Chain A
């Protein structure tokens, strides 16, 4: 595909929500409730819509920069953070949007900050020394003693963290337990026992089979077998039939991967449970760190250390790996200049669906990018003038209904310290995984405000029948591509990445799309590894 065609492709199909912000900020809903669409400024969308003719008269600036990072998401920022930490500051991070963060972006309304995507960080595995040191540096971990991490209580998810609407009552926790059959109960216990055992499983070299980040996990043929079947098939093979357990695991997959357990690789499904081995000294290992702005909190502190190196509002439209350098062409929308950058090395921290169009490198064939897939997401940020209560456990951080395909909602003001608040802000998450991703994406971008309103409100109404009268406004965030979905074969895709990476010279790929698991820890680790490559090269 030609570059020009690609640009039009982005425009018409409205690929990533980051790349393709919404063109219209409208409040077209007929009801009294105001709705609006979040996204970058209007003209940004127009710029991307057509071609780059608008920039043909912009002056060309020739630049030589030792290292260039394309994309200011977690992986790109982490690359920069680790470079700087090692005393290297001759680099630039080029970010298309006017805000860094990527999937960890965040917004703010009159009452609260809110995440636009990723909204929590699980506690760090003890093997993840670099993450632990980052968390210490920013007082998220207060101290480490005898191998136990003591987390800053203020940022741990406050109680109650989760509640499940099951049999008409909200219960604490998301695992359905109340009033279920003895068999179900035993199966659930057996499943968690098995996951506990798998946490300890090691390969022949004595390396953990499951670990986060994936780069710290061992390779084994057992894992490859798991990667060839779906998580649902795995459960059936292992005699798990409990309806409650199946629903719970399906929910976990949709929540973390954007696709159901009948689509996700068994390896990924197990990884979700067996990969977590945190050893906190002052809280439960399954607790998470969270903030009103979600992981935007983390990307903001990452960015703070490298502020001078981050350039926003830059469209990178070509990266060519030549024999002795990388040639990058970009448009700086702020200064209205064409940038021609020559660099020693380049880290592509763009998602796969962008990288495949802009990157020309003998080491990264086009074919590699095929088969990395993402489902679209719709998020509704809802302002309520009444607390969404219900029977049983009061409003929690994460609120879910048993038996539905919805993912429930997260209370964005949960981490506040005040006793009371008159407005509540919640984020309703909907993974559009019912059809093929292309169909769903097209459907999402054709949706009117009324249709999105209906989707979000019916999800809420299923949990709180009379909530609609308490809604004051809804903002919609549409993601053409959510997190990467680890379908069966995801692990072998990651191994393909590792093999290509070994041969790569000047262009490194660092984005969670390539590690098949979209969590902060992966992006952070990919950035660390990319920074190591650059430093090696510089040395």
Chain B
């Protein structure tokens, strides 16, 4: 019998180490900075095991029964830990709490195992022999786990399935022990039902784990995918490359955290700094909260209305702690009101107020649906919320790679009886990027206030942004209307030719 229990030690020590490795890997995968993540996860885990060992003294009777229960619980918690962490990363603002909570919980239960086994065996083996055997098997299990994890398990099974598989080993062991000790146990049937239920849950998780884990997509992006989901409107993918994060919507890069400040400072500050009284601000698109972050740098701003189509995107950027760190938690500002709506419909049917400044950050006009947001009709609808003094800006694709598209947007805005100031800047992850500032009268703009400590934007920089060298100029005056959507073929042609 004591060989069975020694084999048990081997299994539990392998499982225990695997849970620890899964948590460490996942934390560094999602949060970056692997030294910190591994160090804190391992430390917490070992400490929790210590708590478990301490608590073991309170278990006095029915040691085998308790041990079996602990196996089942460890199997379920450890087995599902990876899936829980992956899912909670996207939906919860408390990822770190959940992470360390799970690590502590798993650690405690794993920590209970060895002391209990030693107590079960203490009447059959001499103490000297006992300690020697138990720890030998414990360390062999650890070695095998640490070799198999990077070489076999992660490459062939992925993180989620690995932890589920080892959860099944824990539960499987419990089932075997129930069978072996069936005569000595008080309630073998109840234990059997509990363990079988846990096994079924884990088998189910194993089958569906592929849907949760998106690491396989990594190859498409060339970076680690830390979160991927489909909202009603788009596919949202967050990737991490060392300590930089990127957001992709329908496979189009939206930002890279390394240089997004250039894009967003250039988007927001030309309008806001030239606005005499920026009190009431409208943001269309921009559910990532970066434009709002820049707007909040103006203390005069009292109200910001953000209209975005996709509540899931907004939710990620207002809850996920990595993202709220990037956008300064701007989406939780008390000055902000988030409206979940289609911008065009909202302007036509719902909008009532006038705004001092309007920041428009829509996706590029790559299809007829988005293209509607760049038509004459759209700019006319926008005028419903503009006063004579309102200043607005729209991201307008690249004037270098798609110069006809850029100038088509400019001509269209002009055709709606608005004046424009086109400008551009360099954002390393996008290349040369264009914006169009517009309003009823944009002559003789004055700088009223500019926040200090901007990383990039300044009045001097803005002067040079307004200069367009010959390779970014185009003099055709194509107007994009709902009935022709002339911008779409232009945009397609120009971006396609870039990849020919």
Q: Which residues of A contact B (CB under 8 A)?
A: 153-154, 156-161, 282-284, 287, 394, 417-420, 422
State the CA gap A418–B371 with chains docked (Å): 11
Which one of A159, A394, A419, A420 lies within 8 Å of B483 (CB-CB)?
A159
Which of B373, B483, B488 is close to A283, meaning CB atoms less than 8 Å apart? B483
Closest B residue, CB atoms, query A161: B483
The smallest beta-carbon distance between B458 and chain A, in angstroms, is 35
Q: How far is the CA of A320 from the CA of B266 in the complex (A)?
A: 78
Q: Which residues of A contact B344 (CB under 8 A)?
A: 417-419
A419, B233: Cβ atoms under 8 Å?
A: yes
Residue among A157, A417, A418 with the most chain B CB within 10 A? A417
Q: Which residues of chain A come closer than 8 Å to B123, judged between CB atoms?
A: none
Whether B481 lies near A153 (C-beta < 8 A) is yes
Contacts of B371 in A (CB 8 A): 159
Write out the residue numbers on chain A whose beta carbons fall within 8 Å of the beta carbon of B276: none
**Known contacts A153-B376, A154-B377, A394-B367, A418 near B342 by CB under 8 Å:** yes
Report which of A159, A283, A420 forms a contact with B233, defined as CB distance below 8 A.
A420
Instruction: Kindly list the 5 A-B residue pairs having the minimum CB-CB distance in the complex, ordered from nearest.
Output: A156-B483, A159-B485, A418-B342, A417-B344, A158-B482
Q: B475-491 CB contact bits vs A (8 Å, 1 = yes)?
A: 00000011111001000
B residues in contact with A418, CB < 8 Å: 342, 344-345
Contact B484 A159 (CB under 8 A): yes
B233 contacts which chain A residues (CB < 8 A)?
Answer: 419-420
Asked whether B55 is an interface residue with its Cβ less than 8 Å from the other chain, the reply is no
How many angstroms from the CA of A158 to the CA of B232 in the assembled complex? 24
Given contact pairs A159-B488, A417-B345, A417-B348, A283 touches B368 in the complex (Cβ within 8 A): no
A158 touches B483 (CB 8 A): yes
CB of A392, distance to nearest CB on chain B (Å): 13
* Nearest neighbor of A151 in chain B, beta-carbon distance: B483
Establish whether residues A419 and B368, one from each chain, have CB atoms under 8 Å apart when the complex forms: no
Counting chain A CB atoms within 10 Å of each CB, the highest count among B345, B371, B373, B483 belongs to B483
Q: Which of B309, B377, B482, B484 is close to A419, meaning CB atoms less than 8 Å apart?
A: B309
Given contacts A418-B342, A418-B345, contact A153 B368 (CB under 8 A): no
B368 touching A159 by the CB < 8 A rule? yes
B293 at the interface (CB under 8 A from A): no
Q: Which residues of B contact A (CB under 8 A)?
A: 232-233, 309, 342, 344-345, 348, 367-373, 375-377, 380, 481-485, 488
Which residue of chain B has its CB nearest to the CB of A282?
A: B481
**Chain B residues with CB below 8 A from A157, complex form:** 483
Min CB–CB distance B343 → chain A (angstroms): 8
Query: Which residues of chain B are near A154, meaning CB under 8 Å?
Result: 377, 482
- Whether B372 and A158, one on each chain, are in contact in the complex, defined by CB atoms closer than 8 angstroms, is yes
Known: A156-B481, A156-B482, A417-B348. 17 other contacts (CB 8 A): A153-B377, A154-B482, A156-B483, A158-B372, A159-B371, A159-B488, A160-B485, A161-B483, A283-B481, A287-B483, A394-B368, A418-B344, A419-B233, A419-B342, A419-B369, A420-B233, A420-B342
Known: A153-B377, A419-B309. A160 touches B482 (CB 8 A): no
Q: 12 pairs across A/B with beta carbons < 8 Å?
A: A153-B375, A157-B483, A158-B372, A158-B482, A159-B484, A417-B344, A417-B345, A419-B233, A419-B309, A419-B344, A420-B232, A420-B342
Q: Bound state CA distance, A168 and B482, in angstroms?
A: 27
Write out the residue numbers on chain A whose beta carbons fall within 8 Å of the beta carbon of B481.
153, 156, 282-283
Does A160 lie within 8 Å of B368, measured CB to CB? yes
Most central of A157, A161, A282, A418 by chain B CB within 10 Å: A418
Q: How far is the CB of B335 from chain A (nearest CB, A)?
A: 27
Chain B residues near A159 (CB, 8 Å)?
Answer: 368, 371, 482-485, 488
**Closest CB-CB distance, B280 to chain A, in whole Å?**
24
* Distance between B173 CB and nearest chain A CB, rounded to angstroms: 46
CA A161 to CA B348, docked complex, whole Å: 22
**Are B369 and A153 interface neighbours, CB within 8 A?**
no
Q: Inside 8 A of B380's CB, which chain A residues have their CB?
A: 153
Residue in A160, A287, A394, A417 whose CB lies within 8 Å of B372: A417
Give the complex CA separation of A156 and B232 in angstroms: 29
Bound Cα distance from A417 to B481, whole angstroms: 13
Q: Which residues of B contact A287 (CB under 8 A)?
A: 483
**A528–B483 alpha-carbon span in the complex (Å):** 30
User: How many Å from the CB of A154 to the closest CB on chain B?
Assistant: 5
Most chain A CB atoms below 10 A, which of B233, B342, B380? B342
Known: A153-B376, A154-B482. Contact between A419 and B348, CB under 8 A? no
What is the CA–CA distance of A153 and B481 in the complex, to the nearest angstrom? 7
For the complex, give the distance between the alpha carbons of A114 and B498 in Å: 42
A419 and B376 form a contact (CB under 8 A) = no
Residue of A nearest to B367 (CB): A394
A420 to B309, CA, bound (A): 9
Chain A: CB-nearest residue to B369 = A419
Q: Which residues of B contact A394 (CB under 8 A)?
A: 367-368
Query: Which residue of A is nearest B381, CB measured?
Result: A417
CA distance A161 to B483 in the complex (A): 8
Rounded to whole angstroms, the CA-CA distance of A156 and B377 in the bound complex is: 11
| A153 vs B482: C-alpha distance when bound (angstroms) | 6
Once the chains are docked, how many angstroms separate the CA of A450 from the CA of B411?
53
Question: Chain B residue with minimal CB distance to A159?
Answer: B485
Across the interface, which residues of B come within 8 angstroms of A422, CB to CB? 232
**In the complex, which residues of chain A have a beta carbon less than 8 angstroms from the beta carbon of B348?**
417
> How many angstroms between the C-alpha atoms of A398 and B27 in the bound complex?
52
Query: Which of chain A's residues have a CB closer than 8 A to the CB of B482?
Result: 153-154, 156, 158-159
Q: Nearest Cβ distance between residue B108 and chain A, in whole angstroms?
A: 46
**Bound-complex Cα distance A430 to B482 (A):** 29
- Among A154, A283, A419, A422, chain B packs the most CB atoms within 10 A around the CB of A419
- Provide the bound-state CA to CA distance between A283 and B483, in Å: 7
Contacts of A282 in B (CB 8 A): 481
Q: What distance in Å separates the Cβ of A396 from its nearest Cβ neighbour in chain B? A: 9
| B368 neighbours in A (Cβ, 8 Å) | 158-160, 394
| CB-based contact A419/B485 at 8 Å | no
| A283 cross-chain contacts in B, Cβ below 8 A | 481, 483-484
Q: Chain B CB within 10 Å — which of A153, A160, A282, A422 has the most?
A: A153
Using Cβ atoms and an 8 Å threshold, which residues of chain B touch A161? 483
With the chains together, A153 CA to B381 CA distance in Å? Answer: 12
Looking across the interface, which residue of chain A has its beta carbon closest to that of B362?
Answer: A419
Q: Which residue of A lies closest to B373 (CB)?
A: A419
A255 to chain B, nearest CB (A): 20
Which residues in B have their C-beta under 8 angstroms from that of A419? 233, 309, 342, 344, 369-370, 372-373
| Residue of B344, B345, B348, B482 with most partner-chain A CB within 10 A | B482
